[in-house]
Amino acid sequence: METLDQLPAGERATIVDVAGEDGVAVRLLEMGLTEGEEIEVVGFAPLGDPIEFQVRGYRISLRANEARRLSVKRLGP
């Protein structure tokens, strides 16, 4: 399954799972990145990391190694 860090800018996807039960996973869930939510890749920082996303109507920045925790399913254009 693809993870969130692999998506190109502009891509929309549905969150399938958040891996792990540690502090990082809990923080992602608290910020509303839960199963079934739709998420969009807005863009990348100049050195390719971190990545900006749109979820639940707001914008959030995640580092690639955090985005990797989320497995996603592309929604297509």
Partner 1 sequence: MALPTSSAAEPRTITVALIGNPNTGKSTLFNALAGMQARVGNYAGVTVEKKIGRVRCGETTMRLVDLPGTYSLAPRSPDEMVSVEVLLGRQPDVGRIDAVLCIADASNIERNLFLVSQVLDLGLPTVLVLNMFDVARQREAEIDVPALSQRLGIPVVPTEAHRRVGIDDVRQAIVSASESPAPSRPPLFPRQFYEESAELSRELRGPNGDTVPRYLVERLLLDVNGYIEKWFAAVGAPNLSQKLARARERLAQSGFRVPTGEAKVRYAAIRTLLTGVLRHPAARRATLSDRIDHLLTHRVSGLLVFVAVMFVVFQSIYTWARPFMSWIETGQKLVRSAVQSHMPPGALESLLCDGVIGGVGSVILFLPQIVLLFLFIAVLEDCGYMARAAFLMDRLMSRLGLSGKSFIPLMSSFACAIPGVMATRVIENRRDRMVTMLIAPLMSCSARLPVYLLLIGAFIPATTYVGSWVSLQGLVLLAMSSVGAVVAIPVAWAMKKTIFRSETPPFVMELPTYKIPSLRVVLHRAYERGKAFVTRAGTLIFATAIVVWFAGYFPADHRELNAVLAEIRARQKSGQPTDPAQAAELKRLDERQNTLGSRLIEESFLGRVGHAIEPAVRPLGWDWRIGVGAIASFPAREVIIATLGTIYSLGSDVDENNEGLMDSMRNATRSDGTKVYNVPVALSIMVFFALCAQCAGTLMTIKRETNRWIWPVFTFVYMTALAYIAALLTYQIGIRLG
Q: Which is nearer to partner 1, 45 or 75 (CB)?
A: 45
Write down the least CB distance from residue 74 to partner 1, Å: 19
The phi, psi pair for 56, rounded to 5°, reads 45, 35
Task: Please give the single-letter amino acid code of residue 23.
Answer: G
Strand partners, 44: 51
The phi, psi pair for 28, rounded to 5°, reads -60, -40
Write down the least CB distance from residue 33 to partner 1, Å: 9
Is the bond preceding 46 in cis, omega lying within 30 degrees of 0?
Answer: no
Write down the least CB distance from residue 17 to partner 1, Å: 10
Q: Which is nearer to partner 1, 35 or 74 (CB)?
A: 35
Question: Which parts of this chain interact with partner 1 (CB under 8 A)?
Answer: 18, 21, 23-32, 34-35, 42-50, 52, 56-63, 66
